[in-house]
Amino acid sequence: MRLILFAVLLATVLVLGFQPAIWATPGSVLVVRISSDISQPTVELVSRSIAEASAGGARLIVYELNTPGGDVGSVTKIMNDFNSSPIPVVVWVTPSGATAWSGGTYILMASHIAVMASGTTIGSAQPDTSTGQVLNDSKFINALSGLMVNNARLHSRNETIAQEFITKNINLGPEEALRYHVIEFAADTLQSLLSQLEPYTLILTATGAGTSAWKLVMSNSISGYPYTQSYDFSGMSQASSYTYNPGISIMLLQVLSNPLIATVLFLVGLYAVVIGFKTPGFGLEIAGGLMVFLALLGYGIIGINAAAILLFVLGIALTLIEIKTHIGIFALAGIGVIILGSFLAFPLPGWELLSARAVTSARQTLVAVALVMSGMFGVVVYKVAQARRMKVKVGPEQFTGKIGIAVSVLSPRGEVRVEGQTWKAESVMGTVKEGESVEIVGREGLILRVKHQQTQT
For residues 350 and 424, membership in a common domain is answered with no
For residues 43 and 145, membership in a common domain is answered with yes
Residue numbers of the domain that contains 45 = 22-243
For residues 169 and 197, membership in a common domain is answered with yes
| The total number of structural domains that make up the chain | 3
State how far the Cα of 316 lies from the Cα of 298, in Å rounded to an integer. Answer: 23
For residues 115 and 252, membership in a common domain is answered with no
For residues 424 and 330, membership in a common domain is answered with no
For residues 124 and 212, membership in a common domain is answered with yes
Range from 16-30, 87-101, 217-231, 416-430 that averages highest in pLDDT? 87-101
CB within 8 A of 1, min separation 6: which ones?
Answer: 328, 378, 379, 381, 382, 385
Range from 49-53, 130-134, 250-254 that averages highest in pLDDT? 49-53
Give the tens place of pLDDT for each residue, 343-398. Answer: 666 544 443 444 455 555 555 565 566 566 556 655 665 565 565 555 445 455 66
Question: Where is the domain boundary, 389, 412, 436?
Answer: 389
The more confidently predicted of residues 87 and 18 is: 87
Strand ordering across the sheet containing 227-232 = 212-218, 200-206, 227-232
State how far the Cα of 453 lies from the Cα of 207, in Å rounded to an integer. Answer: 107
In a domain, 289, yes or no: no
DSSP sequence for 405-422: EESS-BSSEEEEEETTEE
CATH of the domain at 111: 3.90.226.10
For residues 202 and 53, membership in a common domain is answered with yes
For residues 81 and 207, membership in a common domain is answered with yes
CB contact at 8 A, 288 and 350: no
Question: Where is the domain boundary, 374, 389, 404?
Answer: 389
CB contact at 8 A, 103 and 75: yes
For residues 337 and 430, membership in a common domain is answered with no
Helix (H), strand (E) at residue 243: strand 241-243
Q: What is the pLDDT of residue 457?
A: 45
